[in-house]
Amino acid sequence: MKISIIFGAIAQVASAHYFFDTNIINGVAQTPGRYVRTSTRAIKYNPIKFSSNPAADIRDNSYADGPDIRCNQGAFASAGNTQVLTVTAGSEVRFRLGVGATMQHPGPGMVYMSRAPGDNVKAYDGSGDWFKIFQEGVCNSSGDFTTNAWCTWDRDWIAAKIPSNTPNGEYLVRVEHIGIHRSHVNQPEHFVSCMQVKVTGGGNGVPGPLVKFPGAYKSTDSYANFSIYGGHKPFTFPGPAVWNGSGTSNPVTTTRSSTTTTLATTTRPSSTTAASTGGSPLYGQCGGNGWTGPKTCARGRCVVSNAWYSQCIP
């Protein structure tokens, strides 16, 4: 779908940037850097952008198509001094932003995991295989698509449950928020950090689809060429599908395919009416572990995508 843009109407969405430097355990924010690796960026809150972006827009020489997209610039240097958080499979990990910032950029939140070779996460640089355990896009179909329609808008945390079938071992858990307010000029902004965890009480699942960082994202992906202006429209998450927790993984050949989940639909009068009758709108979420919203669909039927996500499909 071709979206025409009235350039005069475009304003840079809130300029405040942010970085995840800690996590919350049972409601208590930990000391920054305790379980989350610390980056060595000159300016910690700077985003990571594609190397194809104009040089003046690249920050601290970090690239979304380079190794800094794993856990942020220089983060591996702090691995040995970062503690390993023991997490029971099925329970939550919750990242938090530093210095009181909130995510005032529109865009998706995602969480990935990668098992450390030899289950020694303090020695792992994140160059292995990653799988996605969580993603969230639009939560409020009547919200402003340039701001508060997005689940993460103005929040200071992103949380995900470690799938209960995750094999025991040591992992990097990677949080990511992507600001897509400049994706219409091919300049998405990536904010990433990694936590070091040891999973216990897990299962014998085979996580997948698997991807590498760099490699999982390309500047030609649709999320990087997307306009938040002109109202609600479907958004395709970058990276692989969320692991469904099962014992079978997708063949390697499918790992590049994007999740085509669409969380937002065009605003129209009927969706307002539909929302007031209770169910989720077309393409809205209607179930999944941890979901506290509507369990029915105002339009379409509720189809299970995975343990964490069900969606209203026509």
Ligand X SMILES: *[C@@H]1O[C@H](CO)[C@@H](O)[C@H](O)[C@H]1NC(C)=O
Q: Which residues bind ligand X (CB under 6 A)?
A: 140, 142-144, 148, 186, 220, 225, 244, 246, 248, 250
Q: What minimum distance in Å lies between the beta carbon of 250 and ligand X?
A: 5
What is the edge-to-edge ordering of all strands in the sheet holding 157-161? 28-29, 20-25, 92-97, 157-161
Q: Which residues are bridge partners to 170 per DSSP?
A: 198
When CB distances are held under 5 to 8 angstroms depending on the partner's kind, the choice from ligand X, Cu ion, none that residue 262 binds is none
When CB distances are held under 5 to 8 angstroms depending on the partner's kind, the choice from ligand X, Cu ion, none that residue 127 binds is none
Q: What minimum distance in Å lies between the beta carbon of 145 and ligand X?
A: 10
> Which residue lies nearer to ligand X by CB, 220 or 277?
220
> Which residue lies nearer to ligand X by CB, 92 or 144?
144
> Which residue lies nearer to ligand X by CB, 168 or 225?
225
Q: What minimum distance in Å lies between the beta carbon of 221 and ligand X?
A: 8
Query: 70 near 128, Cβ under 8 Å?
Result: no
Q: What minimum distance in Å lies between the beta carbon of 23 and ligand X?
A: 25
Q: What minimum distance in Å lies between the beta carbon of 261 and Cu ion?
A: 24
Q: How many CB atoms lie within 10 A of CB 294?
A: 19
Residue ranges in contact with Cu ion by CB under 5 A: 179, 189
When CB distances are held under 5 to 8 angstroms depending on the partner's kind, the choice from Cu ion, ligand X, none that residue 305 binds is none
When CB distances are held under 5 to 8 angstroms depending on the partner's kind, the choice from ligand X, Cu ion, none that residue 244 binds is ligand X
Which helix (H) or strand (E) element contains residue 106? none
Q: How many whole angstroms separate alpha carbon 194 and alpha carbon 174? A: 4
Query: 122 near 66, Cβ under 8 Å?
Result: no
When CB distances are held under 5 to 8 angstroms depending on the partner's kind, the choice from Cu ion, ligand X, none that residue 236 binds is none
> Which residue lies nearer to ligand X by CB, 73 or 244?
244
When CB distances are held under 5 to 8 angstroms depending on the partner's kind, the choice from ligand X, Cu ion, none that residue 189 binds is Cu ion
Contacts of 3 (CB under 8 A, 6+ apart): 227, 229, 230, 233
> Which residue lies nearer to ligand X by CB, 127 or 250?
250
> Which residue lies nearer to ligand X by CB, 127 or 246?
246
Tokens of residue 15, six digits: 């300029």
Q: How many whole angstroms separate alpha carbon 44 and alpha carbon 8? A: 32
Identify residue 120 by its one-letter amino acid code: N
Any idea which residue has 């029971």 for tokens? 88
DSSP state of 302: E
> Which residue lies nearer to ligand X by CB, 12 or 248?
248
Tokens of residue 109, six digits: 């939140």
When CB distances are held under 5 to 8 angstroms depending on the partner's kind, the choice from ligand X, Cu ion, none that residue 220 binds is ligand X
Contacts of 266 (CB under 8 A, 6+ apart): 231, 232, 233
Tokens of residue 308, six digits: 């964490």
Q: What minimum distance in Å lies between the beta carbon of 30 and ligand X?
A: 28
Among 104, 145, 113, 133, residue whose Cα is nearest residue 263: 145
Q: Which residues are bridge partners to 179 per DSSP?
A: 189
Q: What angle do CA 297, 306, 130 make, to 5 degrees?
A: 140
Q: What minimum distance in Å lies between the beta carbon of 19 and Cu ion?
A: 12
> Which residue lies nearer to ligand X by CB, 195 or 228?
228
Nearest residue by C-beta to Cu ion? 189
Q: What minimum distance in Å lies between the beta carbon of 112 and Cu ion?
A: 22
